[in-house]
Amino acid sequence: MKSGIKKEFFKYISSNIMGMIGLSCYILADTYFIAAKMGSQGLTSLNLAISMYSFINGLGLMIGIGAATRFGIYRSQSRQKEADETFTSAVFLGGGLCGILLLVAGAFGAEQLAFLLGARGEILPMTTVYLRTILCFSPCFLLNNIFLAFVRNDKAPQLAMAGMLLGSLANIVMDYIFIFPMDLGMFGAAFATGTAPVVSMIVLLLHKIKKKNHFHLSRVLVPVKQMIHFCSLGVSALINEISSGIVLIVFNLLILRLEGDMGVAAYGIVANLALVVVSIFTGISQGVQPMISRFHGKKDKKGAWQVYKYGIIVSVGFGILLLLCVLFFTPQLVEVFNSEHDPMLARMAEEGLHLYFIGFLFVGVNIITAAYLAAIEEAAKSFRISIFRGMIGILFFALGLSAVFQMKGIWIAFPCTEAAALFLSWNCIRKERA
């Protein structure tokens, strides 16, 4: 049995890690091309705006993963009617209600939002353009995350991976075309990113065309209780994503006070590289979730626990490897995004990478643990871990340490938070296993 679980485990996580890396390249491509074309000002604008992308993506993951978790449990219990109702509710909530609200917010409130995020002077119009464009594509981002989660839970992880990778590739190609030959600036970067989920959804349609899907839209009054329930199962995914957005907002405001726009640009390099790394651990968590949900639905606690252990081992291994890569190749990584070869920007970004990335020794364990608890319907415990990592802990350490150690305090706030969250994760698992 163990060998069968292990084989399926690596099938799921390999597909999801590749897919999530591809997905994270949406923003990494923007970072590279904007830095090359618009320098530190463009990089600062992007870093101020990107917190909203994290929120949109997190909202889509909450609805998609939460609903797909319920779908997986219903499917394992042969309850097709409830499975279809769950899918219908997710589409209505994500693509309909939330998507339209965010679109309206982008169309009419982008400048006010940019100002609240810290954009001033020449940075304000650049940030506004990026925010307005990204928010107008919100329904596409949300629906794509929902479809990805359901296709993945419907035993088609390779197709989900293909959708994410081809969407990312389309974004990179269009980024170059819109920013350089067409000279569309921040609008071009955001528009390219917004079209990527459209490409991804076109690929995912193959699941329907080939008649391999086991989820369908149904005639059903939208059950509010059901939506609340599946959102509670996916809330850890939301918190994991918006934590990066919250960190960005708080850190940007603190850094603006300490080091100005140059400090924000340096943090932009660190944060965007961190986004790619987090995507690896998110990929592992999304890979284990369908398996754990299925074992849980069949009341196979041993199988669910085995998948969790595999996830922890792999995440710790990745954490060590990624930290070593950053420590050995720091100057080269920074230089990619430092088109103006600014020595001050390089110095701050290199120091930030060395300190910030220590946190990735612990991040994987915390994310996998939160995903495991959500998949076995322990939503409250999963939420405690995620809310501490994403809000309570990071705010406490960022505000406290920056007051004492200035920029060094900013950089070490993240590893301190994740180390503290590790104790919370261990306590939650210990109680669940008791």
**What's the CA gap between 160 and 10, in Å, rounded?**
15
Task: Mark the ranges of the chain whose per-residue pLDDT is less than 50.
Answer: none
Contact 39, 32 (CB under 8 A): no
Q: At what angle do helices 330-337 and 224-297 cross, to 10 degrees?
A: 150
* Phi, psi values for residue 378, rounded to 5°: -100, 65
Q: What confidence score (pLDDT) does residue 427 get?
A: 92
Query: Which tokens is 427 given?
Result: 């306590």
Contact 132, 107 (CB under 8 A): yes
Closest CA to 316 of 428, 431, 161, 425: 425
pTM exceeding 0.85: no
Residues 6 or more apart whose CB falls under 8 angstroms from that of 361 comprise: 316, 319, 320, 323, 415, 418
Give Cα separations from 416 to 208, 278, 404 (angstroms).
45, 16, 15
**What's the CA gap between 60 and 239, in Å, rounded?**
11
Give Cα separations from 131 to 16, 135, 189, 197, 279 (angstroms).
28, 6, 11, 17, 22
Q: Residue holding tokens 């990619």?
A: 336
**What's the CA gap between 215 and 218, in Å, rounded?**
9
Contact 135, 106 (CB under 8 A): yes
Q: How far apart are the first and last CA of the chain?
A: 24
Q: What confidence score (pLDDT) does residue 128 get?
A: 93
Q: What confidence score (pLDDT) does residue 222 get?
A: 63
Q: What confidence score (pLDDT) does residue 69 get?
A: 81
**What's the CA gap between 78 and 217, in Å, rounded?**
17
**What's the CA gap between 381 and 89, in Å, rounded?**
25
SS (H, E, C) the chain: CHHHHHHHHHHHHHHHHHHHHHHHHHHHHHHHHHHHHHHHHHHHHHHHHHHHHHHHHHHHHHHHHHHHHHHHHHHHCCCHHHHHHHHHHHHHHHHHHHHHHHHHHHHHHHHHHHHHCCCCCCHHHHHHHHHHHHHHCHHHHHHHHHHHHHHHHCCCHHHHHHHHHHHHHHHHHHHHHHHCCCCCHHHHHHHHHHHHHHHHHHHHHHHHHCCCCCCCCCCCCCCHHHHHHHHHHHHHHHHHHHHHHHHHHHHHHHHHHHHHHHHHHHHHHHHHHHHHHHHHHHHHHHHHHHHHHHHHHCCCHHHHHHHHHHHHHHHHHHHHHHHHHHHHCHHHHHHHHCCCCCHHHHHHHHHHHHHHHHHHHHHHHHHHHHHHHHHCCCHHHHHHHHHHHHHHHHHHHHHHHHHHHCHHHHHHHHHHHHHHHHHHHHHHHHHHHC
Q: At what angle do helices 224-297 and 407-433 cross, to 10 degrees?
A: 70
